[in-house]
Copies of this chain bind each other. A is one copy, B any other.
């Protein structure tokens, strides 16, 4: 199968968006902007052996490759519209690619994202690598930047935190749980739900936002640095899976649980800040979206991040976040 057959078979979904003036099959795609909006553009790479296991089910990997990019749009309050998918592959495994593309396009279709381009190449050395570039719409004034947090703002997080990291630990056999617990957490790792609807609904409500991809404290630190502020986060307010809560309460597993909750990446929840007067609106949003939204801390003028434990003592040092290098 050559590159063009691969693209035609797996990566060329039907284009329904009238803004796609020219799709896959030319030197570049042509897309029409929307008056009054600017374009949000982001890219993310997932590498075999680094971001995913070699034996990950290809359908879930296809989902995740799209999900992590949708999550960046969510974190900007942008509507995802267009994506380009590049895959470096050591071989052309028909069954594997078929399942991968089904997972990828199922999630793309859910959010009506048109795949407008890509590049399929052979990786002469090493494993699979996927890079997606995603493009979305947002009115400039409503974009959720990392620089908008101010002293006194609440800090919020969606869903539960640390699930994906906990699943990773379990799959590495650091821990042993019941099968239903493991399946639930593993789904959080392998098929994360990008919070696209939340991001769009937070326009005008949140003062800043980021997605939790590298770990809560690390990602929140980017907001603090971007906004020139500090924060206090309350461990007892962190929304967590029952398994994580149990691990936190057990001295033997507390350190691991703290690491998952505070520094575990890959959850793709949104961490955002908002002025206290928006609490009711955010609570209402939680109901509307059927999505847990938890107030976990407050922005301070201290220029540093403090996480306090159940006894209000600062946790020091904080667990280290995921580093790509």
Residues of A bordering B, CB below 8 Å: 1-3, 6, 21-22, 25-33, 38-51, 72-73, 75-76, 78, 82, 84, 86, 88-89, 92, 116-127, 129, 131, 133-136, 138, 140, 143, 145-147, 209-211, 226, 323-325
Please give the distance in Å from A266's CB to the nearest CB on chain B.
14
Shortest A16–chain B CB gap in Å is: 18
Known: A48-B124, A131-B131. 20 other contacts (CB 8 A): A1-B325, A2-B324, A3-B323, A27-B42, A27-B76, A27-B209, A28-B40, A28-B42, A28-B75, A28-B78, A31-B38, A41-B135, A43-B117, A43-B118, A43-B131, A45-B86, A46-B121, A50-B122, A86-B131, A126-B126
**Given the complex, which residues of B lie within 8 Å of A43, measured CB to CB?**
84, 86, 117-119, 131, 133
List chain B residues, Cβ under 8 A from A129. Answer: 88, 123, 129
CB distance from A230 to the nearest CB of B (A): 19
- Chain B residues near A6 (CB-CB < 8 A): 325
Number of copies: 2
Please report the C-alpha to C-alpha distance between residue A209 and residue B26 in the assembled complex, in whole angstroms.
9
A84-B41 CB under 8 A given contacts A1-B325, A126-B127: yes
Residues on B with C-beta less than 8 A from A136 are: 28
CB distance from A95 to the nearest CB of B (A): 16
Complex Cα gap A2–B325 (Å): 5
Contact partners of A127 in chain B: CB under 8 A? 124-126
Given A27-B146, A76-B26, A50 and B117 touching (CB < 8 A)?
Answer: no
Known contacts A88-B45, A127-B124, A325-B6, A226 near B27 by CB under 8 Å? no
A26: chain B residues at CB < 8 Å are 76, 145-147, 226
**How far apart are the CA atoms of A89 and B92 in the complex, in Å?**
23
Closest to A118 in B: B43
Q: A6-B325, A122-B325, A127-B125 are in contact. Are A41 and B21 (CB under 8 A)?
A: no
Q: Shortest Cβ distance from A233 into chain B, in angstroms?
A: 20
A121 touches B324 (CB 8 A): yes
